[in-house]
Structure 1
Amino acid sequence: MSQKSDSVMIVAGEASGDLYGAELARELVALAPGTRLIGMGGDRMRAAGVETLVDANDMAVMGLVEVIGHLPTIAKGFSVLKKRLLSEPPRLLVLIDYQDFNQRLAKVAKQAGITVLFFISPTVWAWRSGRVHQIRKVVDMMAVLFPFEVPFYEKAQVPVSFVGHPLVDMVPPALDRREARQVLGLDPDRRTVGLFPGSRKGVLKRLLPTVLEAAALLKKSMPELQFVLPLAATLRPADLEPELSASGLEVAVISGKNHELMSACDAAISVSGTVIMELALVGVPTVLIYKVSPLTYQIGKRVINVPHIGICNIVAGKRIIKELIQHEANPQAIAAEVDALLNDAPYAAQVARDLAGVREKLGSGGALRRLALLARQMMEKDAV
């Protein structure tokens, strides 16, 4: 193996990972100006000064069957990163989420003697718990989002550090709803429903038509509603246009103002993922929808051992937002739940109270600063 360079490789494969990777990059440079950063990421990481060897926008897919169709692109990205790890080894490899890909990369790094910091634990506490023994072999430190993850790793003798959830810092408390609508150029006096169909093209293709059909049903029963949809950093307007045009609905598509957009919403329809936690932190009553290929679902149903899909429900320890899964995620059921969130005042108030409790459970901010400090400590230890 070549001599280690004084650099950090950060690898993130999805929109949320790109967001966290960018902020981590800024924190690392603040701690040690001149730190060289390379890796895999998207527009945000590039803007933060990371030399992206692989574009994360090409790598974001979800589901077993869906990944199979994308394997050549994923394999090419993996090969590029592996080659760089071995030819110019960094002082530290920081892996952010993107689990299966990053665990394979961690194995390459460990075999090459490169220190590995993994941020955002695989959900080993939810399914395939035996993976923790493989993780122990390839990870020097697991940095986790939630306090309940620490005992699981300690029991398996995996070095672990609770750093917290970055969204506590990144998601401000909700703006005044009327003010948020004005900022976005929406009608401040009309009730607003947010449509969050995902940041991955595969998920978008699978769920956007259903989301728009549900929105059309809502519009029919409540003509005063207006709809907003955030344009994820991993998508382009052209990815949405065919379905939006076919729906005949007027939907305001907005990029770069996600939290103002969430603050503007009286209710939301959302896929699972990081966005659910963001909506919870802003306090938006939401219905979660989840639909993958039948094969992926049948496999998942047999191995997942937690009662909830939405992370806000997992953190709360109870079902605080409704989860509509597979065939349940149909336009009629989605519209019915949004109708209840908008028009059943006691129900909506209870959901709002439960969502406020989620923010309290996540504690204080500073997660990515703590992650950066942890990274520097590991680099300094490696340099000795």
Structure 2
Amino acid sequence: MNVSTSQAEAGASPAPVFAMVVGEHSGDTLGAGLMSALRKSHPEAKFVGIGGPKMLALGFESLFSMEELAVMGIVEVLGRLRRLLHVRKSLVQYFTDHKPDVFIGIDAPDFNLGLEEKLKQKGIPTVHYVSPSVWAWREKRIFKIERATNMVLALLPFEKAFYDKHQVPCTFVGHSLADDIPLTSDKSQARQALGLKAEGKILALMPGSRGGELSRLVPVFLQSARLLLAQDPELTFVVPMISEYRAEQFKQLQQQHAPDLPLTLIVNKTQQAMAASDCLLMASGTVTLEAALIKRPMVITYKFNALTYLLGKWLVKLKWFSLPNLLANRELVPELLQQEVTTDNILPLVKERLYRDQSQLNAAFTEIHHTLKQDASAQAAKAVLTLVKK
């Protein structure tokens, strides 16, 4: 780390350098929160690595685009493996030449754990923020995590219990989404803010934030919406998209499968769109936790590349795959996986949640919210700073 002449003369410690790598939008949100929390004690801190738009807006120096890492699934990763290895090798070289005070890999475990292991071997303290799902599959990865990290920051309480069992340093920090999302979400206010009609039912179609997810889920989502509209002509559809790029991809798919279906595309206002809705038809992912915290009923779906699914089916031993159900340790929301994702299965599940009382579900979601509301970014910053050398 370079020390300015004035700092050296004054005997002041140089501003700490925090290296971070995120691979998708949920990690960008966590990274931005952690940056803000760390700046409260270190206003002049430098942040460098791979960041998303929220982190960049806070002054993060990104060496590569976050989209380089936005790939999911075994088969999909193999197609990008050469480029991913180049990015990781470049980061190892950069952080070897410009040693940070600590490295924080945020999610993206298949990429970040290998990077963390190499950096830890070079004497750089490493943190992995968001526990990989070692409790769900490939449990022996716990040994690689132990080799690669000085500490894991867990978002979910049952994860810390798993690490404690294996005597791997772990801190439960809660989830920043639970801090950011209010305990009650005003539907009328959200509709007004988005210019949506005040009365009537609204169904949100949420086929994911990755290109592959959209291509696999949009056709059946649109077909389901068309059938639901035939049964209830007053039903309104909103489609929250994470970016203009994904919105364009959705428009192209709609032109192919349901060009005349009336719907409202909403870009970069996902939480507001969910709050404005009565039910969500959605892809699995972190967004399902957002939905639970906003207290909206949902039907969760997921379709993998066929080979990825076959490999995963052999490796994964889970009763549920969605976060609301895993946190509750019971089926709060319906899940449809792979060949189960059909209009015949989707329609009755959506209709039940659109037109029936959901007060019991809301109570369960509120309990989850209280459990995860821990001031996560501040807790994560506190844990990270224990590894910064004085």
Q: Shared topology, TM-score over 0.5?
A: yes
CA distance in 2: counterparts of 1:49 and 1:7, whole angstroms: 13
The alpha-carbon distance between structure 1 residues 173 and 253, as it changes in their structure 2 partners (threshold 3 A), is farther
CA distance in 2: counterparts of 1:149 and 1:234, whole angstroms: 35
Aligned residue in 2 for 1:126: 136
Q: Tell me the CA shift for residue 236 of structure 1.
A: 4.0
CA distance in 2: counterparts of 1:32 and 1:233, whole angstroms: 32
Amino acid at match of 1:265: S
Q: Tell me the CA shift for residue 233 of structure 1.
A: 4.1
Aligned residue in 1 for 2:253: 243
Q: Which runs of structure 2 are paired with 1:279-318 in the superposition (5 Å)?
A: 279-318=291-330
Higher mean alpha-carbon deviation, 56-65 vs 313-322, is at: 56-65
How many equivalent pairs are there? 378
Amino acid at match of 1:297: Y
Cα displacement string for residues 319-366 of structure 1 (whole angstroms, at most 9, x for unaligned residues): 100000111011231122111111234xx343333323322332x331
8 Å contact kept, 1:124–1:130: yes
Q: Which runs of structure 2 are paired with 1:283-362 in the superposition (5 Å)?
A: 283-345=295-357, 348-362=358-372
CA distance in 2: counterparts of 1:215 and 1:82, whole angstroms: 47
Matched, 1:48 2:58: yes
Q: Tell me the CA shift for residue 138 of structure 1.
A: 1.2
CA distance in 2: counterparts of 1:308 and 1:172, whole angstroms: 26
8 Å contact kept, 1:195–1:269: yes
8 Å contact kept, 1:171–1:281: yes
Aligned residue in 1 for 2:11: none
Aligned residue in 2 for 1:259: 271
Amino acid at match of 1:122: P
State the SS of the aligned residue for 2:63.
Answer: strand
Amino acid at match of 1:180: A
Matched, 1:376 2:357: no
9, 15, 36: which one pairs with 2:25?
15
Cα displacement string for residues 109-168 of structure 1 (whole angstroms, at most 9, x for unaligned residues): 111111001111011111111110111111001111122222221221211111111111
State the SS of the aligned residue for 2:199.
Answer: coil
TM-score, normalising length from structure 1?
0.93
Q: Tell me the CA shift for residue 208 of structure 1.
A: 1.6
8 Å contact kept, 1:53–1:80: no
Q: Tell me the CA shift for residue 2 of structure 1.
A: 11
170, 179, 185: which one pairs with 1:169?
179
CA distance in 1: counterparts of 2:68 and 2:101, whole angstroms: 26
Aligned residue in 1 for 2:122: 112
Amino acid at match of 2:344: Q
Q: Tell me the CA shift for residue 102 of structure 1.
A: 0.6
129, 152, 160: which one pairs with 2:170?
160
Aligned residue in 1 for 2:8: none
Amino acid at match of 2:298: T
Aligned residue in 1 for 2:67: 57
Aligned residue in 2 for 1:68: 78
The alpha-carbon distance between structure 1 residues 14 and 239, as it changes in their structure 2 partners (threshold 3 A), is same
Amino acid at match of 1:11: V
Q: Tell me the CA shift for residue 172 of structure 1.
A: 2.0
Cα root mean square deviation, aligned: 2.0
Higher mean alpha-carbon deviation, 253-262 vs 348-357, is at: 348-357
The alpha-carbon distance between structure 1 residues 31 and 222, as it changes in their structure 2 partners (threshold 3 A), is same
8 Å contact kept, 1:213–1:331: yes
Amino acid at match of 2:108: Y
TM-score, normalising length from structure 2?
0.92
8 Å contact kept, 1:10–1:37: yes
Aligned residue in 2 for 1:82: 92
Q: Which runs of 5+ in 2 are unaligned?
A: 4-13
The alpha-carbon distance between structure 1 residues 234 and 157, as it changes in their structure 2 partners (threshold 3 A), is farther
CA distance in 1: counterparts of 2:69 and 2:319, whole angstroms: 29
Aligned residue in 1 for 2:199: 189
Cα displacement string for residues 64-106 of structure 1 (whole angstroms, at most 9, x for unaligned residues): 1122222233233223322211111111001111111011111
8 Å contact kept, 1:57–1:234: no
8 Å contact kept, 2:244–2:267: no
Q: Which runs of 5+ in 1 are unaligned?
A: none
CA distance in 1: counterparts of 2:33 and 2:356, whole angstroms: 39
